Amino acid sequence: MPASQSRARARDRSNVLNRAEFLSLNQTPKGAPEPRSSGRKASGPSTQPPAPGDGARERRQSQQLPEEDCMQLNPSFKGIAFNSLLAIDICMSKRLGVCAGRAASWASARSMVKLIGITGHGIPWIGGTILCLVKSSTLAGQEVLMNLLLALLLDIMTVAGVQKLIKRRGPFESSPSLLDYLTMDVYAFPAGHASRAAMVSKFFLSHLVLAVPLRVLLVLWALCVGLSRVMIGRHHITDVLFGFAIGYFQFRLVELVWMSSNTCQMLISACQQQEDPTGPS
């Protein structure tokens, strides 16, 4: 108690209004009416002081609200640009989804468009590559087919991993097919058919001797596969574009780790021994 009284006296001494020349400012003039608020306070019931917990809660809210307001009212330029591009992507993808459902404008062409997309599916390409590898009798053909099989397996694993990480849905509510579940192509980003079409077309253009019309048709096929996935409402435009980019980088990676003819023959021999462990009698 003495310590608190000494602090109160020190505050009174340090207050400028307590000096002798300013004492008249603290006194109420004679005849001046009392403030209405004081009358209300005197006549009204006595107010209880707020609980200590309420004051702490209000202080926490006052510290949190400005930060939230700044986040909502002052978004960054990158956030605005990203949200704008995302809105444009969704709007354009929905407009191009002319075969997305039975009530769509091009609903009659949905089967044909889906057939174009199936030509870029992983299961037919892997099965066809294995079949051609079994039937091939030349070392050069087996080398190309083994590296193509490696590229296809790399594409499936890469697309499945990125889709599982991003988990982006398509512009329309559509359930994946059985073939999509087999290749783990369940989500929208990136488009697996587009990445596979880009990788396969680049692979053939680099390792096969094709006439100019066939080369043009190969590029058009890859573009049609990507467009078909947007038309049926399975992917956004950015999903297809990123799929094309991933397919190109996969091709470059396969070129860096290209398996030689000797390595391919060793792998083929190991597979044959696994199939027939007893060997010739």
Q: Checking phi first, is residue 76 left (phi over 0); if not, alpha (psi -120 to 50) or beta?
A: beta
Identity of residue 265: Q
Separation between Cα atoms, residue 125 and residue 123, nearest integer Å: 5
Residues in the chain: 281
For tokens 């190991």, the residue is: 270
Of 205, 213, 281, the closest CA to residue 248 belongs to 205
Q: Give, in degrees to the nearest 5, the angle at Cα 251 between 248 and 254.
A: 155
Q: Is 114 strand, coil or helix?
A: helix
Per-residue pLDDT of the chain (281 residues; tens, 9 = 90+): 555 666 666 666 655 555 555 555 455 555 555 555 444 444 444 455 555 555 566 655 555 544 444 445 556 877 888 788 888 888 888 888 888 877 777 878 888 888 898 898 888 899 999 999 888 888 888 899 999 999 999 999 999 899 889 888 878 777 776 766 776 777 888 888 999 999 999 999 999 888 999 999 999 999 999 999 898 888 889 999 999 999 999 999 999 999 888 888 888 888 777 766 665 54
Residues classed as catalytic: 193, 235
DSSP codes joined into one string, 17-52: GGSGGGHHHHSPPTTPPPPHHHHHHHHSPPPPPPPH
Who's near 141: CB < 8 A, 6+ residues apart? 132
Segment holding 77, helix H or strand E: helix 77-96
Identity of residue 167: K
